[in-house]
Structure 1
């Protein structure tokens, strides 16, 4: 028995009765059933699938595969069983609002500016259309958004009609059809004529409202993000709560938020710069202290130290500061990290003929480590398979 797609005939069906004519599993082991008739919409045309229940068994996905509509269920169901299907109506109606809003928005772009929509995606939070253009302006978006909301406010009918290929010449279609059989048109009279198999309300007023959120360049297209209906109120509420929170934190009215935020960002940058300068002063002081405590070994001095959970970039800066001030010096730093890791920084002054990169490579196998650098400074790390003290002894032995 061929599947009857009830959602094409009455998109306001919330529950229905049907018989299970097939029960099986797909290649991924997911259980599914095929019904003799259904009100569940399968994923397609940029619109996600419906969800709901069949005899209280959860329907978590709906797909059209090899000409049959598969209802993927949480548990297997028997063939020839009569069942009652219940749609998740909030999800269905949300999709109806978003899809109809997309038709209106795309038609407004096409009619007013000739911008053609080449793809549509109905996401869980926002919807997007891709326009075949290079850029978009605030003025264009504002005008198109006004046109779309006026069409919604006028509460025009949204009609669906099945036509043949020969009958297509009677309609000014917004874009070429992808099929030439079982052609279904969604029509907003005197505004939009478009081939579509998705779900829509029967009047534009039920879309409620449309808001463009933002747009961005996507290769040779522009992607426009928008929301319709109940999602507009959700986004408005979320943004209001954020703005209200910021006005309280910054102690300024809403209209001064932008300037207040700029001031905070600038102050933060200045403070960060101050912190960096102070850290460098501390590192310079620490470098002088370590240099004064250096051991004299033949014709060069040796600075060696083991640190606990010290950021490696700081150790690199410290080693560079020491070697900048002394040409005949060798620096060996080991960091005993809290994550059971050992890290090394090895540096030499410009007057010493010692290869730090080679020294690091010679010692890293002891801790199953990795790293590298130049002749004058190298860094790396590995497992704490030996103690930090043992690793330091190994460095000195190799030297």
Structure 2
């Protein structure tokens, strides 16, 4: 028989905005708690969508209502349970080593759909320390230390050994990793540290004056390694690098790009100056510039320079399907309100802005051209009463 399958009776039901919930006489499903997500699986052949414990009653959110007294079969998704158990046990190992080896307390923990995280009580941690921590974790994994779970009365618990003090009374569930950790915990765990496989820290970020470490373990870690390798292989093939030269080559490419960006900006400035000079030969109240192939930065530069001369500038960029309106503040026209009113009348585009400048984005070049023509027409005809 499948060890993750069980038969039980529906003892209570309720509904809320999320759907139908059922309580069972017995259940193998783990309810969300302590940073660990709920189990996944099926009940009466339908997916269990959520599991929550309320006042010591475990409630199961199901797709369709079940009647009280109904005999149902539940099946826990063993792959999800195993994954959550690996991530949770990895947290115990990380927390214990951080406290014992670095004197750093763990403040919070959570298992995400792809990665898990710890917030630790320090404002200083670096990647050399992370690599050292990972080596310590891997040593614990290789030693395959037993992980035990058992229940004791609060009087039997060795409170002085607890990793974190508990104010629970009655029966307390203890999770112990041989020679490393002794803690009160209601989550699910593996039977030995060797089942963690690999524990890999993927990122580090400062939050609220502390540090958040993101990590993966087990198959999640293997998936991450495969992803990193694929990305690295792509870089090798693109830039003709090796593991030893890839960092230097990426930095070199970045520096070259920055130099090219400077050259492009200098060229754009010269092009903008020339185009604006040509526009100013026209005795027009409204000057329109259409950029069909140029970068958005060049279009905005031209629009800004035209507006600085006291004209009303209209700029359209086909590449980004964007439009800009601008003047230097000497006109009474509230550009942002005018643009929004025109777009509302046309029923296309999204945009707005301030008294002096505004911009809009369109779903197609056709819409952009239509809006540009209408805006120029209204400006030239003085239709700006908004």
Work out which of the residue numbers 305, 309, 312 in structure 2 matches 1:332: 312
Moved more, 380-389 or 84-93: 380-389
Counterpart check, 1:346 vs 2:346: no
The CA distance in 1 between the partners of 2:316 and 2:128, in whole Å, is 59
Do the aligned partners of residues 88 and 371 (structure 1) sit closer, same or farther apart at CA in structure 2, a change above 3 Å counting? closer
The CA distance in 2 between the partners of 1:243 and 1:342, in whole Å, is 39
Note if contact 1:333-1:345 (Cα within 8 Å) is conserved in structure 2.
yes
Question: In the TM superposition, what are the counterparts of 1:240-279 in structure 2 within 5 Å?
Answer: 240-279=229-268
SS in 2 for 1:17: strand
Note if contact 1:294-1:303 (Cα within 8 Å) is conserved in structure 2.
no
Counterpart check, 1:197 vs 2:179: no
Do the aligned partners of residues 31 and 359 (structure 1) sit closer, same or farther apart at CA in structure 2, a change above 3 Å counting? closer
Deviations 1:196-221 (A, max 9, x none): 00001111211222122232221232
Partner residue of 1:390? Answer: 377
Do the aligned partners of residues 314 and 233 (structure 1) sit closer, same or farther apart at CA in structure 2, a change above 3 Å counting? closer
Work out which of the residue numbers 250, 262, 282 in structure 2 matches 1:294: 282
Question: In the TM superposition, what are the counterparts of 1:122-133 in structure 2 within 5 Å?
Answer: 122-133=111-122
The CA distance in 2 between the partners of 1:59 and 1:346, in whole Å, is 59
Partner residue of 2:6? Answer: 16
Do the aligned partners of residues 72 and 281 (structure 1) sit closer, same or farther apart at CA in structure 2, a change above 3 Å counting? same
The CA distance in 2 between the partners of 1:397 and 1:159, in whole Å, is 77
Note if contact 1:22-1:34 (Cα within 8 Å) is conserved in structure 2.
yes
Gaps of 5+ in 1: 1-11, 296-301, 348-354
Partner residue of 1:146? Answer: 135
State the superposition RMSD in angstroms: 3.1
- Give, in angstroms, the shift of residue 313 of structure 1: 6.4
The TM-score normalised by the length of structure 2 is 0.84
Counterpart check, 1:112 vs 2:101: yes
The CA distance in 1 between the partners of 2:140 and 2:100, in whole Å, is 13
- Give, in angstroms, the shift of residue 269 of structure 1: 1.3
Gaps of 5+ in 2: 345-350, 361-369
Q: Give 1 or 2 for the bigger CA radius of gyration.
A: 1
The CA distance in 2 between the partners of 1:364 and 1:133, in whole Å, is 52
- Give, in angstroms, the shift of residue 194 of structure 1: 0.5
Note if contact 1:171-1:193 (Cα within 8 Å) is conserved in structure 2.
no
Do the aligned partners of residues 162 and 264 (structure 1) sit closer, same or farther apart at CA in structure 2, a change above 3 Å counting? same
Do the aligned partners of residues 363 and 253 (structure 1) sit closer, same or farther apart at CA in structure 2, a change above 3 Å counting? closer
The CA distance in 2 between the partners of 1:272 and 1:385, in whole Å, is 29
Partner residue of 1:379? Answer: 357
- Give, in angstroms, the shift of residue 98 of structure 1: 0.8
SS in 2 for 1:147: helix
Work out which of the residue numbers 146, 164, 172 in structure 2 matches 1:157: 146
Do the aligned partners of residues 394 and 363 (structure 1) sit closer, same or farther apart at CA in structure 2, a change above 3 Å counting? farther
SS in 1 for 2:327: strand
The CA distance in 2 between the partners of 1:214 and 1:204, in whole Å, is 23
